Structure 1
Amino acid sequence: MAARHADDEQKKAIRDEFDSVVNMSASQLGKWLQTDESKSVGQKKDGESESIGHQSGEHIIDILNKKVDDLSESDYTHMSKVISYVRRHSAQRPEHVAGSNWAYSLKNWGHDPEK
């Protein structure tokens, strides 16, 4: 049972940090992902029309709409990826944030740097 307890603690830590870096609601993120600005930024995998960040945003909406007990291992893996991306990208803050590709990319990952 000790291993399960540690696993539960790790998952709670991931959820807590995810909740602190994702500062957009599922509906805010969904509206953002429909904009041309959202679609204009990010790296694309070979042959794909949608950027990695845009795909991430869709997964984040899915996570935000789930109950904690319904989160899968893949959701926790993605939550960790989101935390890492937002932390790393935030450290590269440009002088002008508003309307920047930097801000648009972060918003695709559920983090509005202007909030």
Structure 2
Amino acid sequence: MADALELDTLWDEFHRVVNMTSQELAAWLRVRDAGEETEPLPEEMSSSTGQHVLAILQKRRTDLTEDDIKVMYEVVDTVTSEADLENEPEAEETKRRHRLMTLGHDPLKPSP
């Protein structure tokens, strides 16, 4: 398990790169996975990573598991490497934006 300082840093970094709320992410995952006729059941929707990010957003730091910490590191690394956090992409970069949104990062959402 990560030490307290490392976990604090990871928690802050994760919540910095995951700029969608749990409600926004849940709605995105439903829309992304909905078929033309139906909307999936919550447990059947999205990538497992997207669902894991959603679960982490609904937890307190003290409730994190080893798997949560692993996913948090993966999300921070992926968003940091794929997103230009200083100069967000143009709206035309749809595939990349949608991939990042599945991890909870909307590149077109203004920074707070």
Normalising by the residue count of structure 1, what TM-score does the alignment of the two structures yield? 0.74
- Listed one character per residue, the Cα deviations across residues 37-72 of structure 1 (whole Å, up to 9, x for unaligned) are x349xxxxxxxxx87xx2211001100111111111
Runs of 4+ in structure 1 over 2 Å off: 93-99
Q: Is 1:83 aligned to 2:79, yes or no?
A: no
Q: 1:76 to 1:95 in 2, by over 3 A?
A: closer
Q: Secondary structure at the match of 2:3?
A: helix
Residues 98, 114 of structure 1: 8 Å contact kept: no
SS at match of 1:77: helix
Tell me: CA distance 1:10–1:30, structure 2 relative to 1, closer, same or farther (3 Å). same
Aligned match of 1:110 in 76, 99, 104? 104
Q: Is the 2:89–2:108 Cα contact (8 Å) retained in structure 1?
A: no
Provide structure 2 residue ranges, at least 5 long, that are not aligned to the other structure.
Answer: 35-44
Unaligned runs of 5+ in 1: 41-49
Partner Cα distance (2:10, 2:66) in 1: 12
Deviations 1:59-87 (A, max 9, x none): 01100111111111111111000000101
Aligned residues: 97
- Within 5 Å, give how 1:1-115 maps onto structure 2: 7-35=3-31, 38-39=32-33, 54-91=47-84, 96-98=90-92, 100-115=94-109
Structure 1 16/98 Cα, relative in aligned 2: closer, same or farther at 3 Å?
A: same
Residue of structure 1 equivalent to 2:39: none
Compare 82-91 and 13-22 and name the one that shifted more.
82-91
